[in-house]
Amino acid sequence: MNTISKILSVLAVFSFVACDFHGPWEYYPEKRDVYTGIYTYGYIASGEAPYICFSKVYELEETAIESIAFYDSAYVTVKGRFVTTSGEEKDTLSVLYSGNKPNCFGGYAYRGIVGETYTMEAYFEWDSSGHKAESRYKAQATIPPKVKIKGLNVPLQNGDYEWKPFNEKKPRFEIDFLEYPMDMEFVKCALDYDQSVRGVIAVMNYDMSNAESQNTTINDMFKGFTSEDEEGYRGISIHDPLEQTQNLGFTSNRKVADFHALDTAYLMNMMLPLGDVSVDLYSTDESYIDYIDKVRESVNDSRILPESNIENGMGVFTGMSKATVLLHVNGDGVSVKHIAHHNCYNAEGDLSDSWDSKGCRLYQDVYCAAIDVSVWSDDLATLNSKAYEEYRDSVYSRDSKECYASNVKAAMMLDTTKWSLFLPDTINTQDKSNAYADGLKRYCVASGFENNKIADCYDLYKLCMESPENNYCKEYLWTWCADRDWPDNDQCRSALVSRYYLKEQKSSIILREVQKVCDLYRPTICNNWCTENKDHLECPESSPLEK
């Protein structure tokens, strides 16, 4: 056989083998259309009113603001058997209304009942990729019974476990935090449940009255890389100190051999704050499993086809019931309040990075006013707005450099006779000048540029509210409004218009709001981009000043 014949023979054999050789190239996802409608995320819970949020699917370059409605009009209802505020059960239609969050809808007078099925219907008129659209969505959800807590199997420092049965007369379990190397152990919560419960979402609740142990595996790992402060904190926190809840995950009701996944809720010891803690266990219906396994997973894996109970749409509307595990965790640690301050305050350099996040910016005035966040039900934005009132009796933080600007702002909010009384006598000239400039900026924006006997906001008003140029005042104003979810006041209406044009944003939704602001309120800033057309201002899609 000549060389060419040999080669052809080899190629023939290889071709035959290759045709029968299986590999990953045989398994590829089929091409499918990307969903471009409205996403739904809502629930109806036992003893609670329905609550449903909607969101359009945005293009990559689009800008969005959660506090602005994406739709022109909406009508959302939930039908079923409810309990009224007077305790009466009745079949009725509950019309849901939006509040401070215009894309979320809630009820008021009607509460869900275990075992009942509810039908959600939603109708939207909205702008879909530049075209006016009408969309209808429908879904059903059934409220499962809540899980029952039989007791806890609590790990001990010596490696053993102690069974603590649930006691209705004393429902709070008292346990000890396990320190390194046992901190990775799990507290095992034994559950009893009906088979209509298809899964459980676990959410932990805590606040600034809690603390965190520092004798943990993760802190031991970083001993050579980070140093302790005066409280023993290394800058590694398990929980966000400026939040009050933490999602611990979802467990579905599945059986593998003799193992039933929902028989036990696992709470990692290291994840538990010290002090009083609660864990809410939300039982869900079948639709939530489809949402977790098929809708959310399809985003990361194109081989998974999304399946949602939202007819014509995507997302989930599920039934829920809540049971709560109450814990008191004993142990030594660093307070969450100290962690919040440490994480926000950068003590190095010129402090330019201090308090540089939304949560920290809102917390700074609250911290400087010495407000105990753990005893307030208000959110940080609300506490920030009234922090200055705590200065009436004393200036708690007079000597703290990080609070100089907050103190000056408080003095101006109170319209006191002398703002410098809110600063220490030993402050140098440069720090005093910086504190005044920063405090004045904060006061003017927060007060709507209101002058008083110690604050003159004229120059800042010109920069923030009238100038067509980008400047430090506008940058601060935009951040201030965004931190507070764009409240409906004069300064944020002006900021919405200036940011839209100066940042060259792409958003038909924000443009609609810009047009509304300029038509109804006519802030001076609109004159830089919008033109008079008969009896109203007409605002262009983009800034003519950039062309």
Question: What integer best gives the mean pLDDT of the chain?
Answer: 91
Query: Nearest-CA neighbor of 440 among 425, 428, 427, 422?
Result: 422
pLDDT tens digits, one per residue of 27-76: 555 666 778 899 999 999 999 999 999 999 888 888 888 899 999 999 99
Q: How many residues does the chain have?
A: 547
Vertex 499: Cα angle to 496 and 503 (nearest 5): 150
pLDDT computed for residue 10 by the predictor: 43
The number of C-alpha atoms within 13 Å of 309 and in the hemisphere containing its C-beta is: 24
pLDDT computed for residue 28 by the predictor: 53
Query: Nearest-CA neighbor of 42 among 100, 115, 116, 119?
Result: 119
Contacts 24+ apart (CB under 8 A), 306-313: 306/35, 309/139, 309/140, 309/141, 310/40, 310/137, 310/138, 310/139, 311/137, 311/138, 311/139, 312/37, 312/135, 312/136, 312/137, 312/138, 313/37, 313/38, 313/39, 313/40, 313/135, 313/137
pLDDT tens digits, one per residue of 237-281: 999 999 999 999 999 999 887 889 999 999 999 999 999 999 999
Other beta carbons within 10 Å of 34: 5
Q: How confident is the model at residue 547 (pLDDT cuts 50, 70, 90)?
A: very low
pLDDT computed for residue 352 by the predictor: 64
**Helices and strands, number each (H, E), in the chain:** 13, 23
Contacts 24+ apart (CB under 8 A), 348-355: 351/401, 351/402, 354/402, 355/402
Residue indicated by tokens 């969309």: 135
pLDDT tens digits, one per residue of 312-364: 999 999 999 999 999 999 999 999 999 999 999 976 655 567 899 999 999 99
Residue 82 tokens, joined: 């409810």
181 dihedral zone (left: phi>0; alpha: psi -120 to 50; beta) = alpha
Residue 57 tokens, joined: 């699917």
The verdict on whether omega for the bond into residue 181 sits within 30 degrees of 0, i.e. cis, is yes
Are the C-beta atoms of 491 and 520 separated by less than 8 Å?
no
Cα–Cα separations (whole angstroms), residue 265 to 153, 199, 261, 286, 485: 10, 11, 8, 19, 36
pLDDT tens digits, one per residue of 114-129: 999 999 999 999 988 7
Query: Nearest-CA neighbor of 270 among 201, 333, 200, 199?
Result: 333
Q: How confident is the model at residue 418 (pLDDT cuts 50, 70, 90)?
A: confident
Query: Nearest-CA neighbor of 57 among 76, 79, 34?
Result: 34
Q: Which residues of 87-117 are buried (b: 16+ CB within 10 A; e: fewer)?
A: eeeeeeebebebeeeebbbbbeebbbbbebe
pLDDT computed for residue 385 by the predictor: 95
Q: Is 42 helix (H, G, I), strand (E, B) or coil?
A: strand
Q: 264-268 and 314-330: which strand pairing?
A: unpaired
Question: How far, in Å, CA of 187 to CA of 152, rounded?
Answer: 7
Q: Where does residue 20 rank: exposed (0-12), middle (13-18), buried (19+ CB within 10 A)?
A: exposed
196 dihedral zone (left: phi>0; alpha: psi -120 to 50; beta) = alpha
Question: How far, in Å, CA of 61 to CA of 83, rounded?
Answer: 45
pLDDT tens digits, one per residue of 466-522: 999 999 999 999 999 999 999 999 999 999 999 999 999 999 999 999 999 999 999
Query: Nearest-CA neighbor of 40 among 403, 242, 287?
Result: 287
pLDDT computed for residue 348 by the predictor: 60
Q: Where does residue 18 rank: exposed (0-12), middle (13-18), buried (19+ CB within 10 A)?
A: exposed
Query: Nearest-CA neighbor of 511 among 522, 521, 524, 497?
Result: 497
pLDDT tens digits, one per residue of 383-408: 999 999 998 878 889 999 999 999 99
Residue 220 tokens, joined: 């031991």
Are the C-beta atoms of 103 and 277 separated by less than 8 Å?
no
Residue 362 tokens, joined: 């809102």
Other beta carbons within 10 Å of 138: 15
Q: What is the mean pLDDT of residues 420-428?
A: 93
Are the C-beta atoms of 387 and 369 separated by less than 8 Å?
yes
Cα–Cα separations (whole angstroms), residue 189 to 22, 76, 147, 166, 449: 46, 38, 11, 10, 55
pLDDT computed for residue 535 by the predictor: 81
Q: Kindly compute the dihedral angle of the four CA atoms of residues 301, 307, 309, 314, in this order, to the nearest 10 degrees.
A: 50
Q: In the predicted model, is pLDDT for residue 13 greater than 50?
A: no
Percent of the chain residues past pLDDT 90, beyond the cut: 77
pLDDT computed for residue 349 by the predictor: 54
Q: Is 13 helix (H, G, I), strand (E, B) or coil?
A: helix
pLDDT tens digits, one per residue of 371-384: 988 888 789 999 99
pLDDT computed for residue 6 by the predictor: 47
Task: Please report the DSSP string for 321-375 in residue order.
Answer: EEEEEEEEEE---EEHHHHHHHHH---STTSTTTT-SHHHHHHHHHHHTT--GGG
pLDDT tens digits, one per residue of 139-152: 999 999 999 999 99
Are the C-beta atoms of 282 and 321 separated by less than 8 Å?
yes
Question: How far, in Å, CA of 212 to CA of 186, rounded?
Answer: 17
